[in-house]
Amino acid sequence: MFSILKDDFRTNNVKFTLLSFVKSYLSNYAFKAVVLYRVSHFLHNKGYSIFATLLRNRCIKVTGCEISPKAKIGSGLKLSHSVGIVISGEAIIGENNIIGQNVTIGGNYGRHPVIGSNCYIGVGAIIIGGITIDNNVRVGANAVVIKDIPSNSTAVGVPAKNIEHIT
Protein backbone atom coordinates (compact mmCIF):
# COMPACT_ATOMS: atom_id res chain seq x y z
CA MET A 1 0.00 0.00 0.00
CA PHE A 2 2.80 2.44 0.83
CA SER A 3 4.56 2.00 -2.52
CA ILE A 4 1.29 2.81 -4.32
CA LEU A 5 0.75 5.84 -2.08
CA LYS A 6 4.30 6.96 -2.91
CA ASP A 7 3.41 6.92 -6.64
CA ASP A 8 0.21 8.84 -5.87
CA PHE A 9 2.32 11.41 -4.00
CA ARG A 10 4.56 11.89 -7.05
CA THR A 11 1.59 12.18 -9.41
CA ASN A 12 0.00 14.83 -7.20
CA ASN A 13 3.33 16.74 -6.92
CA VAL A 14 3.73 15.92 -3.25
CA LYS A 15 7.14 15.10 -1.83
CA PHE A 16 7.27 11.90 0.17
CA THR A 17 7.82 13.49 3.59
CA LEU A 18 5.54 13.53 6.59
CA LEU A 19 5.19 17.32 6.61
CA SER A 20 4.31 17.58 2.91
CA PHE A 21 1.88 14.66 3.26
CA VAL A 22 0.03 16.31 6.16
CA LYS A 23 0.00 19.67 4.38
CA SER A 24 -1.41 18.18 1.17
CA TYR A 25 -3.85 15.92 2.98
CA LEU A 26 -5.32 18.84 4.92
CA SER A 27 -5.49 21.31 2.04
CA ASN A 28 -6.18 19.24 -1.09
CA TYR A 29 -9.50 17.37 -1.07
CA ALA A 30 -8.73 15.48 -4.28
CA PHE A 31 -5.52 14.11 -2.75
CA LYS A 32 -7.41 13.34 0.47
CA ALA A 33 -9.95 11.30 -1.53
CA VAL A 34 -7.15 9.24 -3.11
CA VAL A 35 -5.53 8.56 0.28
CA LEU A 36 -8.86 7.60 1.87
CA TYR A 37 -9.60 5.26 -1.05
CA ARG A 38 -6.18 3.57 -0.70
CA VAL A 39 -6.70 2.97 3.02
CA SER A 40 -10.28 1.72 2.57
CA HIS A 41 -9.17 -0.58 -0.28
CA PHE A 42 -6.40 -1.95 1.95
CA LEU A 43 -8.89 -2.57 4.78
CA HIS A 44 -11.35 -4.23 2.39
CA ASN A 45 -8.65 -6.58 1.07
CA LYS A 46 -7.67 -7.52 4.65
CA GLY A 47 -11.28 -8.49 5.44
CA TYR A 48 -12.28 -5.39 7.41
CA SER A 49 -15.08 -4.45 5.04
CA ILE A 50 -17.15 -2.68 7.71
CA PHE A 51 -14.27 -0.30 8.49
CA ALA A 52 -13.62 0.13 4.77
CA THR A 53 -17.24 1.10 4.23
CA LEU A 54 -17.17 3.55 7.15
CA LEU A 55 -14.06 5.16 5.71
CA ARG A 56 -15.66 5.37 2.25
CA ASN A 57 -18.72 7.04 3.79
CA ARG A 58 -16.45 9.54 5.55
CA CYS A 59 -14.73 10.24 2.23
CA ILE A 60 -18.09 10.96 0.58
CA LYS A 61 -19.04 13.38 3.34
CA VAL A 62 -15.71 15.20 3.46
CA THR A 63 -14.62 15.27 -0.20
CA GLY A 64 -17.80 14.67 -2.23
CA CYS A 65 -16.11 11.72 -3.95
CA GLU A 66 -17.35 8.13 -3.85
CA ILE A 67 -14.79 5.47 -4.72
CA SER A 68 -15.78 1.96 -3.73
CA PRO A 69 -13.19 0.07 -1.65
CA LYS A 70 -13.75 -2.86 -4.04
CA ALA A 71 -12.55 -0.90 -7.10
CA LYS A 72 -9.13 -1.89 -8.41
CA ILE A 73 -7.14 1.26 -9.19
CA GLY A 74 -3.46 1.30 -10.11
CA SER A 75 -0.87 3.67 -8.72
CA GLY A 76 -0.45 7.25 -9.82
CA LEU A 77 -4.12 8.26 -9.64
CA LYS A 78 -4.78 12.00 -9.87
CA LEU A 79 -8.19 13.56 -9.39
CA SER A 80 -8.59 17.09 -10.79
CA HIS A 81 -11.25 17.91 -8.19
CA SER A 82 -12.91 15.39 -5.93
CA VAL A 83 -16.50 16.63 -6.10
CA GLY A 84 -18.96 14.39 -7.92
CA ILE A 85 -16.64 11.52 -8.81
CA VAL A 86 -18.28 8.09 -8.55
CA ILE A 87 -16.30 4.90 -9.19
CA SER A 88 -18.17 1.64 -8.70
CA GLY A 89 -16.80 -1.46 -7.03
CA GLU A 90 -16.55 -3.40 -10.26
CA ALA A 91 -14.27 -0.89 -12.01
CA ILE A 92 -10.69 -1.75 -12.92
CA ILE A 93 -8.45 1.24 -13.60
CA GLY A 94 -4.78 1.16 -14.63
CA GLU A 95 -1.87 3.34 -13.60
CA ASN A 96 -1.15 7.07 -14.02
CA ASN A 97 -4.67 8.20 -14.84
CA ILE A 98 -6.19 11.66 -14.43
CA ILE A 99 -9.90 11.90 -13.68
CA GLY A 100 -11.88 15.18 -13.79
CA GLN A 101 -14.73 16.17 -11.51
CA ASN A 102 -18.27 14.79 -11.89
CA VAL A 103 -17.04 11.63 -13.63
CA THR A 104 -19.04 8.42 -13.28
CA ILE A 105 -17.32 5.08 -13.87
CA GLY A 106 -19.77 2.28 -13.24
CA GLY A 107 -20.81 -1.19 -14.13
CA ASN A 108 -24.20 -2.67 -14.84
CA TYR A 109 -25.59 -6.19 -14.75
CA GLY A 110 -22.34 -7.73 -13.57
CA ARG A 111 -20.26 -6.10 -16.28
CA HIS A 112 -17.62 -3.58 -15.36
CA PRO A 113 -15.53 -0.98 -17.17
CA VAL A 114 -11.81 -1.57 -17.60
CA ILE A 115 -9.64 1.49 -18.12
CA GLY A 116 -6.01 1.16 -19.16
CA SER A 117 -3.03 3.24 -18.08
CA ASN A 118 -2.08 6.84 -18.89
CA CYS A 119 -5.65 7.92 -19.63
CA TYR A 120 -7.34 11.27 -19.16
CA ILE A 121 -11.06 11.19 -18.32
CA GLY A 122 -12.56 14.65 -18.89
CA VAL A 123 -14.95 16.58 -16.69
CA GLY A 124 -18.44 15.10 -16.51
CA ALA A 125 -17.63 11.98 -18.54
CA ILE A 126 -19.74 8.86 -18.02
CA ILE A 127 -18.26 5.41 -18.57
CA ILE A 128 -20.89 2.72 -18.16
CA GLY A 129 -21.05 -1.02 -18.63
CA GLY A 130 -18.64 -3.74 -19.66
CA ILE A 131 -16.45 -1.64 -21.90
CA THR A 132 -12.70 -1.41 -22.29
CA ILE A 133 -10.77 1.80 -22.66
CA ASP A 134 -7.21 0.92 -23.68
CA ASN A 135 -3.99 2.75 -22.80
CA ASN A 136 -3.22 6.40 -23.65
CA VAL A 137 -6.84 7.40 -24.30
CA ARG A 138 -8.36 10.84 -23.81
CA VAL A 139 -12.07 10.99 -23.06
CA GLY A 140 -13.55 14.44 -23.64
CA ALA A 141 -15.68 16.45 -21.28
CA ASN A 142 -19.27 15.21 -20.90
CA ALA A 143 -18.65 12.22 -23.18
CA VAL A 144 -20.82 9.15 -22.64
CA VAL A 145 -18.69 6.08 -23.36
CA ILE A 146 -20.73 2.96 -24.12
CA LYS A 147 -18.38 1.24 -26.61
CA ASP A 148 -14.76 0.12 -26.42
CA ILE A 149 -12.11 2.74 -27.20
CA PRO A 150 -8.78 1.57 -28.76
CA SER A 151 -5.34 2.66 -27.56
CA ASN A 152 -3.94 6.09 -28.43
CA SER A 153 -7.34 7.59 -29.22
CA THR A 154 -9.58 10.49 -28.31
CA ALA A 155 -13.28 9.91 -27.65
CA VAL A 156 -15.87 12.70 -27.51
CA GLY A 157 -19.62 13.12 -27.81
CA VAL A 158 -22.85 11.48 -26.75
CA PRO A 159 -22.45 8.62 -27.37
CA ALA A 160 -18.65 8.90 -27.49
CA LYS A 161 -16.96 8.31 -30.82
CA ASN A 162 -13.31 7.86 -31.59
CA ILE A 163 -12.32 11.06 -33.41
CA GLU A 164 -8.57 10.74 -33.61
CA HIS A 165 -5.86 8.14 -33.61
CA ILE A 166 -2.74 9.57 -31.96
CA THR A 167 0.48 8.59 -33.70
CATH architecture of the domain formed by 2-165: 3 Solenoid (2.160)
Per residue in 47-86, pLDDT (tens digit) is 999 999 999 999 999 999 999 999 999 988 899 888 999 9
- Going from N- to C-terminal start, the domains of the chain cover 2-165
Output DSSP code: residue 133. E
Roughly how many angstroms between the first and final C-alpha of the chain, as a whole number? 35
Quick one: pLDDT at residue 2? 62
Q: 46 in helix, strand or coil?
A: coil
Give one DSSP letter per residue of 47-105, joined into a string: T-HHHHHHHHHHHHHHHS-EE-TT-EE-S--EES--TT-EE-TT-EE-SS-EE-TT-EE
For the segment 130-158, the average pLDDT, to the nearest whole number, is: 92
C-alpha–C-alpha distance, residues 66 and 89, integer Å: 10
Contact 112, 131 (CB under 8 A): no
pLDDT tens per residue, range 106-123: 977 778 899 999 999 999
